Chain A
Amino acid sequence: MNPLHLLAFGPTGWGDELAYGAAMTLVIAALGFAGGLVLGLPIAAARLSSNVVLRAISGVYVTVVRGVPELLVIYLLFFGGGQFYRYVADALGYSGAVAADAFSAGVLAVILICAAYSAEVFRGAFQAIPKGQIEAANAFGMTRSTLFCRIKLPQMLRYALPSIANVWQLVLKDTALVSVTGLVELMRTIDVAAGSTRSPFLFYMTAILIFLAFTAVSNKAFEGAERHFSRSVIGGYGK
């Protein structure tokens, strides 16, 4: 029999399960990436702050999260969080059972990891902004917030973009680690299908192809974004 029937959609094949898992992977990656970037920005700002305490805390955070295996972060949130959640629940006067659900724990873990990596990218990118351009903005009386939103942020993003593309790849791959919680994303679905049908080669190859497809599409998107943001560097005319 043609082994590809295992990939069919419908009750006899794994096609729809894989589609669901792939969608779940994208949802975790997208939420984790978006949350990570949003959280990464203030962490980067704290890293560059003149306040010693902020600098120390953010420095420790970035070093620890990037230094330990990502799996450990997920374990900590999903399995190790129990005592913490219990403590919070008790404080709120709730005595029932509490635990992180796999989805929240997974997304949170990806956010925390992505935040640490993107904070470092942002920090480097902020430092790459030519000082003279910030000075010019100051000299014309821009407020701090105008300076940040109109000068620092767009310039920083331009420098950060290539590395942010790498962070996205990292995030996409880290979603696979979330499968340890039993959350049915792509990697978990692949494991279940491979183990249940005893066709590991077929399913692992399929997983590789799906991840490569994700990568190819996101590479294209980031290339487009980079082109858009670096037109000023190339020195083209108009928009």
Chain B
Amino acid sequence: MNKTELPASQPGLAVPTIESRDLRKSFGAVEVLKGVSFKAYEHQVISIIGASGSGKSTFLRCLNFLEAPSSGEIDFKGRSLEIGGGRAPTRIEIEGLRRRTGMVFQQFNLWSHWTVLENIIKVPIHVHGVPRQQAVQRAMDLLAKVGLREKVNAYPASLSGGQQQRVAIARALAVEPELLLFDEPTSALDPELVGEVLAVIRALAKEGRTMLVVTHEMSFAREVSDKVVFFHDGRIEEEGPPAEVLRQPRSPRLGAFLKSVR
């Protein structure tokens, strides 16, 4: 198995934004994550690829405890949240971590009883205590950025999938997260809508945000990521810069996977 290497851009002793050590997760008797050790540094864009059922989503959801990991450790900005064996992280610790991350889901998961604006400002106001005025100002800026200013008072149900996902991205950005998690953000979209969402994510990558993106879009992974991580059967099978991992896979399984998606 590969040891994670610091990319050249990283100064020697930097603390990872998020790190997992020997992370395991079982659903009943089935072990879905079989010891995942992983690091993401500030400003890194990391693509997570792998076959369906290989544990990509489960891994991402364990990082912010939407799934409770069975054992292992997660460090967020150097602070450890130990799981199993030791002390389980408290709800307050978990909430603290979640407030510093933003998540974008495959199915958008916008709150359907709120307008676009409300979807974006409610978390800053009620969770982070941002003054309303300021939250609205920031929401308008973000909507301009994702190209949806005119939809500010629309309800999610009246938007296309691509528009909903762009709102969901604005919602995630509104909390000024230190880490953005994307779980297949374009998989639920009609092919003609994928582009508009990828464009927004590309722009975010250029801004130097720290992002973990579970994706099936190989070209996106190649162009945008600093690092590609390949999951197989609950383990990280191979990882490295996209040019190496996607062009000259060392693992035969990765080779087979890349052939199958091409």
Contact = CB atoms under 8 A, between A and B. Distances in A.
Whether A and B touch directly in their complex, counting CB atoms under 8 A apart, is answered as yes
B127 A158 contact: no
A133 interface: yes
B112 A141 contact: no
Q: B interface, how many residues as a size bin? A: 20 to 34
Chain A interface SS verdict (over half): helix
A159 to B, nearest CB: 10
Given A135-B105, A140-B99, A232-B113, A146 B126 contact: yes
Contact of A236 (B155, B171, B175): B155
Contact of B102 (A135, A140, A158, A231): A140
A142 B109 CA distance: 15
Nearest to B111: A133
Interface stretch (A63-71, A82-90, A147-155, A203-211): A147-155
B153 interface: yes
A140 B127 contact: yes
B153 A136 contact: no
A138 B156 contact: no
Given A142-B127, A231-B155, A235-B155, A130 B122 contact: no
A93 interface: no
Interface in A102-143: 130, 132-133, 135-143
A238 B126 CA distance: 22
Contacts of B102: 140
Nearest to B103: A139
Nearest to B112: A232
A136 B103 contact: yes
Interface residues of A, number: 29
B199 interface: no
B98 A141 contact: yes
Given A130-B112, A146-B126, A139 B66 contact: yes
B157 interface: yes
Contacts of B112: 130, 133, 155, 232-233
Contacts of A142: 95, 123, 126-127
Interface of B: 64, 66, 91, 95-99, 101-103, 105, 107-115, 122-123, 126-127, 153-158, 171, 175
